[in-house]
Every structure is written in C-alpha cells, then in structure tokens.
Chain A
Amino acid sequence: MKQSKILKGLRVLLAILFFVPIFLYFVDFANLLPESLHNLLHIQLVPAILAGIIWILIAQFLLVLVFGRIYCSVICPAGVLQDIINRIYCIGKKKKKGSRRFVFRKPLNWLRYGLLGLTAVLAVFGSIELLLLLDPYSNFGRIVSNLFRPLVMWGNNLIADGLMKFDNYTLYHVTVESITIPAVIAGGSILLLFILMVTLRGRLFCNTLCPVGALLSLVSRYSFLSINFDKNSCIQCGKCEKSCKAEAINVETMEVDNSRCVDCFNCVTSCSKNALHYNMNPIFSKHKLVDKSAPIESQKAFASRRSFLTTGITVASSIPIVTAIAQHASHGKRRAHGKEDNSNWPPITPPGSLSLERFKDTCTGCHLCVVQCPTHILKPAVLEFGLGYLLKPHLDYDNSYCNYECTVCSDVCPNHAIKPLTKEEKVTTQVGIAHFFKNRCIVEIDGTDCGACSEHCPTQAVKMVPYKGDLRIPKVEPEICIGCGGCESICPARPDRAIIVKANVVHQFASKPKVEEIKEIEVDEFGF
C-alpha cells in the first residue's frame, strides 16, 4: 500500500478509536460501559488545562510539536464529528461538488487569535462563559447528551415496550428526564453551526472560532513533521487544494499553511503524482532555509504574531466592559426572581465542586455528569442563576435525590470542576442544608401522618419527632444534613414543598451521624 493511504487509514482508524467510545459514553443511559472511559476525556485540551494536569499538557504540546494538529483529526470528538458531517454531505455527490469542493483562502488570524485571546483573558479573570460556548469538547458533549442520547433512549423505549409484550425485560423503559429545552437548543444550534460551516467551508470552525484550534496552530506552525510539496513532481493540478477541508493549501505557491492543517491527509491521497509528503518541516532543514519561500514564511509568521498581539491588546482593554455586562446580567436576573423566600436561593453545585465560585470558574458545561448521574438530578441551568451559570449543571431535587454513597459525577468530571471524592468524603460533604417550613407541612396543615421526608433521609438528619397526639413532625438536625435532597424530592406539599435544601455557597463537612451501639435483642415469644 502507498504511504499516503497508510497515513490516511491510520488517521481514520485512530479517530474511530477515540470517537466511538466517547460518543457511546455520552449516550450510555444504562451505565453499561466501564466508568474508566472518562479517562479519554481527561486528555481533551480544555479539560486538561482547567484541571491543571501538567503531564497531559506537556504530552499534547509535544504531540503538536512533532506531528502537527493531529489532535483536531483524531482526539477532538468535535473535530471528528465535523469530518463525519462532511462525509455524510459527500455521499452521492460527484467529487467536484463533494470531497473536492474547497479552495484556498487566507487565514482569518484576527478572528481566531482574537477569540483565543479574549477567551483566555476572560477565563483568567474568572469568567469562562466564552470558553464554555467555544470549547469543542464541551460543545460535542452538549450535542450528544441533549440530542443523540434522547433519541437513543426513545428508540430503546420503543423496543423495550415491544419486548415487554413477550415477557422480555432485557431492555427496560427509561424515563427521558435530564434534558431541558434550553440545553437542546444549545446542543442543536452548535450542531447546526457545525453542519453549516462544514458544508460551506470545511473545518472553518476549527480555524476561526475554536480556541483549541487557535492555540494548537501557534505550535503547529513549527511542528517537526508537516505536509510538503515535492515541487519537482507537482503539476499544480489543484486536486490537493480542492480536497483540503482546512482550506490551507495554496497550489499556486505550493504551500501548506501548517497553522491550519489538521493532518487529515486527504490531500496526500488525492495527489496522483505523489507530490505531497508528510515529512520534515522545511523550516528545520538547513538547505531549504535558503529557499526563496523562507522569507515569506517568516514574514507571514511575523504578520500573524503582530495581529495576535494587536487583538490581544484590544481584547484586554475590553475585559472590564464584558465582565461588567456579565455581572449586570446575572444580578438583574436574580432580582427579577425574588418574590418568594426560597426562589432566589443560589444553585446547589455537585458534591466535590467545593464552592459555587470555583465551580463557575471551572465547569464548561459538557454535561457528562448530567448524563452519567444515576438519579438524573443534575440539570443544566439556563439563566435562572445568571449568565455566569449558563448551561452548567445544578442539583435539582424535583423528582429524585443524590444517592448517599454515589460519587459518579465527581469521578467522571474531566475538568475536575467536580473534584474526585472518596465514599467517606462524599457521605459527609454538605452541599446544602434542608430547611423545614412548618406552615406548609402536611402534618401541620392536615393533621395527618406523612414523614416521607424522614423516610428518605439517609442520615436521619430529618427525624420525625412527637407532635400533637400520635402525630410526628419532621425536625432537621443541620449538623448531620448533607443536602442530598431525599426529603425535598419526596415532600408532597404543594404548591410549595415544606422542606427544601438551601445550597451551601461554599461546601461544608457535615458531622457523621452518631454511631449507635448494637444491642443484642432476643425475643422468645410471639407476643400474641
């Protein structure tokens, strides 16, 4: 087999090996896949940066430095998704209108580096909304969890209902509940954007809007290996240029813009003269430095660096305005709410997130925790907690509660926005405290037994204590309450529940419930 075909085949194979498990992991509503799959997500660049995993960053840096932006074609699920969209678009089309529909265009450096700078600066100043909206991995997560996953679940339900008629319960009916309309819109609009950009301009997203693409491009310019023209064999037929999704090949000058090339090797396979090679970057070989193209190279690099600097400065100067707008938006929203005593309480952040502020600064809303939560209590917010909490998950105890010993969300979070917890840490992590409103309680209002809250309390922080006659009424012991929401989720009082968890803006540690002594109890009689 030709070297060209091996290269492309290897790229496709690796892409599948990364993409399929990640895709299935987001879809896996029945928790069939091993939890360790989340490791594939820790190597995603933005999560690795936010989690501060240095060795991954170094490895990624070396990977680009040696191979170029192979990351965008293999590791990044959003990149591979775009390739799949492109592939689907090309089905049944002639090459001219399909796989060879692209032309060389100049890089939009001001845009990509401008956005990169703005994103970075905003993130450093603790406002990661832009990163949340642009990060390819998080966008991919939102697309799969809010669009593909529900589809698969509905499909499952159809089959499960069919099988049920034959007494087969291998598949079971699942409740599609963790999706919200805004999250569907968020996932849907980015998918639409991908489709639009890919069909019109190939990997335009990766080379304009994507901060990861822009960041990698800074290194890939100087990557050791790159795609190069063999100027003696090239007949300038233009097939390579037309097959370049990144619009990075200029056949006239016989140059490949390494800052935009994503190493898909489509050009290499398209070339019938074998004039494109993936080999040592000419900037590293001495005798080619004297080549006349060299000055142009460096000039270009200089130009882009200049534009990077100017955009950086513009961005930096606009920060105060942006943050002011963001803060204003969040405040305005919260004030608009507060007609009731508990409706303007802050969001409850997942156990392991340590504090609201920290969580806001590190979560990019990929919704992996949302899909992995076994009790489906993590719901992506819209604007109810302000712009700073946009699309980030919060604990919603409307229908269920946080399993006492469960640590799934903290185990899987690739950003470490939810830090890993041991079981022991989890059962004492106090994300909030239950607040009891006696005036709404069934026992008080109707004078009948209830106790649903206490029934669901794993620590008996909500305990039924003697009340009028035989009645018992709940009482909260805040020190041992962990804010799991067992009580709130089951409280039958309406319109407002009588027991509601109020978030700890900074998570606390609850004391462990007192260990009671085990007494030997013996009974020899029936008692009747």
Chain B
Amino acid sequence: MKRRDFLKTSAVAGAALTLNFEGLQAALSSNTVAVEKAPDLVAVMGGEPAVMLNKALEALGGIGKFVKKGQKVVIKPNIGWDRSPEMAGNTNPQLVEALVKKCLAAGAQKVTVFDHTCDNWQKCYETSGIAAAVKRAGGVIVPGNDEKYYKNVSIPNGVTLKNAMIHESLIEADVWINVPVLKNHGGAKLTCAMKNYMGIVWDRRFFHSNDLQQCIADICTWNKKPVLNIVDAYRIMHHNGPQGKSLADVAQLKTLIASPNIVATDTAALKFFNQVEKLDISAVGHIKKGEALKLGTSNLDKITIKRIKI
C-alpha cells in the first residue's frame, strides 16, 4: 500500500470513527434520559403541518432512523385531484415540503415525489401546490401520466393481485415514505395509508374489477414497504370523498399520525375519523384484509402509542 493511500484511508477511518462515536454517545445519552424505546405510533394534534411533523419524527427517533445518508428517497403523497389545499383533496403541500427538507437534511442523495393522478396530472400537481412545494424544498417532482413510467413487478403474497405495474422511481428507490391525506371515499369507504398505494400503480382498473378491498391489501404486501406512513389530517374530507364538492366536506382538525405499521396507521386514522363521521372498520375491508396478510395490527392496545398535543 502506498503511503499516500494509507494516509487517506486512515483519515477516512478516523473520521468515520469519530462520527460513530458521536452517534453512539447521542444514543446513549438519549437512552439514559428516556429509557423507553421509540413508540410504534405517534399522533400529534394542534400544530401547523411542519411543526407536527417535527414533533412526530422527534418522537419516533428522528428522520435519520428512516433515511440514511446517500439514499434515494421517494415520498408518495396523494395528489389525485385538481383541488386546492383548502379542499383537502390532496396531501397538504406544507407537510410534503417539510418532509422533503427533512430527508435532504438527513443526507438523502435525492428525494423524488410523484402520484398517478386521477385528474389531469399537470393540473393536479399545480393546483395542489405540491409541485411548487417540492421544488422549493429541493426535491424532484416526476410525472406519472404515462404507462412508460411503470414497470411490472410481482406481488407474490397477494391473494388476488399477483403482479402490478409500479412507478419506476419507487422501484429504483432505497426507501420510500407514504404520505396520504385522510378522506372519506365512495368506493373504499376510507382512503388513508393503504389506499394511497393505488397511486403507485398504473392499472387501477384491475383493482376495481377484482375485489377492490382485497387488491388494496394485496398491493401493500409488495416487498418494498414504506419506512414510514405519515397521515395528513390537518384537514380531512369527511364527505363526498375522494374529490369533495365544497368546503362543507372539509374539517380542519390539525392532526398528524405517523407509524411504520401501516395497518395500525389506518386503524388509528379510522378511529380518529369516526369522531366526525361514523364508519365501521368492517366496511373499510382492506384494513382487516391487510392484517390477515400480516401487514400489521389493527389492535391498537398491542402497540405503543405516543400522543402529543401542541
């Protein structure tokens, strides 16, 4: 080994050591302060989207727990409709913006955002405020309007859905974060984290014609699962979902729910939703079907929950 190389390697190794050491110390110190480990689910109420996101991530152990340096990250909000943020048809743009920034701050190599929209994609991206938010935060917003962007993957654990065309940015990503908005839904009854998966696939018609609820649960078994589900309930659409007709369909509740456990996320979101509009869990078939496919638990007593009110 050349001397120069040796010096280089040792310098790098030294740097790495100090980093690790700092990390260790931080972990140690936090452990000594709070002995409890990170909760399975965090719910935050009463703040602006970015503030609530901060609180939730803090409680979960920081963004660094989910996004590592140099990773390619995809954030998948709901951008399905040509609706402005007040209408709650799409995920709150402020939340998306804050999350993109967090990921980049955590050292993500690239943060990509997309959705397979229902309305004209350009209008959705623009009216939702998400395209602008992503650009402001330094992320990349990519189109999902053409079959060209989707690649066929197999869903070995699916009951009805055995393969699907999934957006290539997700296929190439190291990690992804699922960021749905909580809404009433004419077909699936409720749309939240699991239902938000329908925006990653090309052929949704198959879902509708082959037991929608089962297909939603099936697609969630795809082996690349989101590292985190963050539910935007800053505003929820409790009626006439998923598009909504007017502001009468919307309630501003300033809430956020986050968890890596997708079934628990949706169960919690449903219980929260139930305070505004009664909806039985059996009607939202995909939640129980997801549990049957071992995607998580709908028994919230079995998990640790941290509730934060601002």
Contacts and interface: CB of A to CB of B under 8 A. Distances in A.
Interface residues of B, number: 62
A374 B185 contact: no
A175 B146 contact: yes
B148 interface: yes
Contacts of A282: none
B186 interface: yes
A526 B307 contact: yes
Given A448-B213, A460-B240, A515-B246, A374 B123 contact: yes
Interface in A430-464: 442, 446, 448-452, 454-460, 463-464
B174 interface: no
A472 to B, nearest CB: 7
A517 B211 contact: no
Contacts of A446: 209-211
A448 B210 CA distance: 8
Interface string B177-197: 000000001111100000000
B243 interface: yes
B220 interface: no
B82 A526 contact: no
Given A455-B185, A456-B243, A526-B272, A173 B208 contact: no
A490 interface: yes
A511 to B, nearest CB: 14
Interface in A482-504: 490, 492-494
Given A526-B45, A526-B268, A173 B148 contact: yes
Contacts of B274: 527
A472 B123 CA distance: 30
B276 interface: yes
User: In terms of DSSP, what is the predominant structure of the interface of chain A?
Assistant: loop
A460 B245 contact: yes
A410 B248 CA distance: 31
A157 to B, nearest CB: 8
A167 B272 contact: no
B213 A516 contact: no
Contacts of B246: 515-516, 518
B145 A172 contact: yes
B205 A492 contact: yes
B141 to A, nearest CB: 8
Nearest to A448: B211
A457 B243 contact: yes
B98 to A, nearest CB: 21
Nearest to B246: A516
Interface centre among A451, A523, A525 (most CB of B within 10 A): A523
Contact of A455 (B43, B118, B238, B272): B118
B140 to A, nearest CB: 7
B238 A521 contact: yes
A454 B244 CA distance: 11
A161 interface: yes
A223 B125 CA distance: 55
Interface string B264-307: 00011001111110001011010000000000000010000101
20 contacts: A167-B110, A167-B140, A169-B140, A172-B146, A173-B143, A403-B123, A448-B210, A448-B211, A448-B212, A455-B185, A455-B187, A459-B245, A492-B208, A516-B239, A516-B245, A521-B253, A523-B253, A523-B272, A526-B271, A527-B275
